[in-house]
Structure 1
């Protein structure tokens, strides 16, 4: 089986196309023939060894947690999935190693769902990690009908889903982004504001009494203004800054695989409530170039690796 793998921590240069054994099918897993796998910044952190101690790595390690493809083998106890099903998954496991940038991958049934029928495999592969992150973070913050929500990093991969999901839940959304992405945010249904010294002033114009939720998908200094902008009963949630929990009484969110949440996203996508943006695709053998592209930070939408 062809796969992209690395046998030592490092940059994209440690990635190579190699032959590996076929994936092992456990009793509660399915083997998926990979059609597409999207890449995420966390893949690079793991490949660089920056998350050692949090997640163990088994070499040679195949990167990737997002996948869309076809079930070719079903485990002994996977009644929700069968051979021939077109699925998508956030196939994160307890250790890093048997990832999705391969011709086939073993996927725990608890991490997979039938892919949205309205999406191609490439588009479906772009959904799981970012879509789940956005959904679970908004849920933890209690975002709902009539809430005024400030989303930092609103034009990024997670933020794009966050804006759309919050709008679908009935919230009024203000999003931070560079000026070049303001038209894009308007198209998604958010009120755009710029980063910088005037952020508090800009944001306060949209929520004079404070925001019911401040959602941080960007990290850095995003939460520096949270105390000044939060309503008395407001909630902060972040995927990038532990201060959300330790200093602001909110939530630090680490996305979890969840088949039910994937089914929710699929339903909303097929109903036309969420759209998916793919920036570029690369063939499997050019995965290192895909990660170099991702590292530039200049993409809007997901980068997806395709497997013939």
Structure 2
């Protein structure tokens, strides 16, 4: 039977398991996909720990991990147009992507360009699309400066590159060991740690026009002091703190149009997914541990055998 990596109850890594489950069947507006790659994101382990998006109900256990995949269409459901068996696609699964097979809703599914690998495409629906949505939300004019905290992770690496594609100047906050990575993306690097605001002012003497936070907590609070206009303060990590500071969470579009746009940036060479580690499905736990420890560079992807 097909395999999937799941958590059987809410809690820590001890709740995770590789299990067998029936191959799903697509419903209206869905396609069944043979997964070739699944992106790994912090939200994956947070969901296992009990995290809920606002308004989200409890999920039926066990829950398959994963929120972004790339693969090949095996079957289409009723009322599906624009997709056919054999199409190479990527998108956000209905119920988990760390699996040999999953279902994708066509509203959040796009055709994978031939020049983009499955592992690279699997990084786009969450990390790259979040970065794209956040920068569109900030609506900065060309030449403006955006500060990105947590710039060395999957969303941060994408945000620095997309900012550059939008004609913005970017300042990336990350550990000292990620300095070369941040600067290779055309951004100024600021080391994380105490007295962050002072270091940002030194790196960007003209000030910053917006903050795209991916860390939350004290880092978000320090970054907020750099802005006079808190409508240009957004976070993908800490809704409660950003609300108190007068900013807003990243507003996710979650559309196929956005997926097409980020894929186009990859094809044009303006967005590199930076997949730094791939592991097979039976080692998905290792990928989650790496993300949970919080010191990764770029993206981790689970590859599923054809």
Give the TM-score normalised by the residue count of structure 2.
Answer: 0.92
Aligned with 2:84 (options 77, 82, 85): 82
What 5-or-longer segments of structure 1 have no aligned partner? none
Cross-structure match for 1:25: 26
Root mean square deviation of aligned Cα:
2.0
2:120 is aligned with 1:119: no
Q: Is the counterpart of residue 72 in structure 1 residue 74 in structure 2?
A: yes
| 1:12 equivalenced with 2:13 (yes/no) | yes
After TM superposition, the structure 1 stretch with the greater mean CA deviation from structure 2, 67-76 or 77-86, is 77-86
Which of the numbers 211, 230, 234 marks the counterpart of 1:214?
Answer: 211
- Alpha-carbon offset, residue 23 of structure 1: 1.0
Does the aligned pair in 2 maintain the 1:215–1:237 contact within 8 Å? yes
> Structure 1 residues 7, 189: CA separation in 2 closer, same or farther (over 3 Å shift)?
same
Could you tell me which residue of structure 2 aligns to residue 186 of structure 1?
Answer: 183
Q: CA deviation at 1:242?
A: 2.7
Alignment of 1:155-174 (within 5 A): 155-174=152-171
Cα displacement (A) at 1:220: 2.3
1:86-129 superposed Cα distances (whole Å, 9 cap, x missing partner):
111122x4xxxx31111111110011101233221122112220
State the Cα distance separating 1:243 from its structure 2 match.
5.5
Determine whether 1:128 maps to 2:125.
Answer: yes
Q: 1:259 to 1:177 in 2, by over 3 A?
A: same
1:142: how far off? 1.2
Deviating more after overlay: 32-41 vs 245-254: 245-254
Distance 2:104 2:271 in 1: 25
d(CA) in 2 for partners of 1:85, 1:236: 39
Segments of 5+ residues of structure 2 without an aligned counterpart are none
Q: 3-state DSSP class of the match of 1:24?
A: coil
What is the SS of the residue equivalent to 1:58?
coil
Note the C-alpha offset of 1:47.
Answer: 1.2
Distance 2:201 2:295 in 1: 29
Greater mean alpha carbon deviation, residues 268-277 or residues 207-216:
207-216
Instruction: Report deviation, 1:249.
Output: 3.1
Give the total of aligned pairs.
303
* Shift in Å, 1:259: 0.8
TM-score by length of 1: 0.91
2:298 matched residue in structure 1: 301
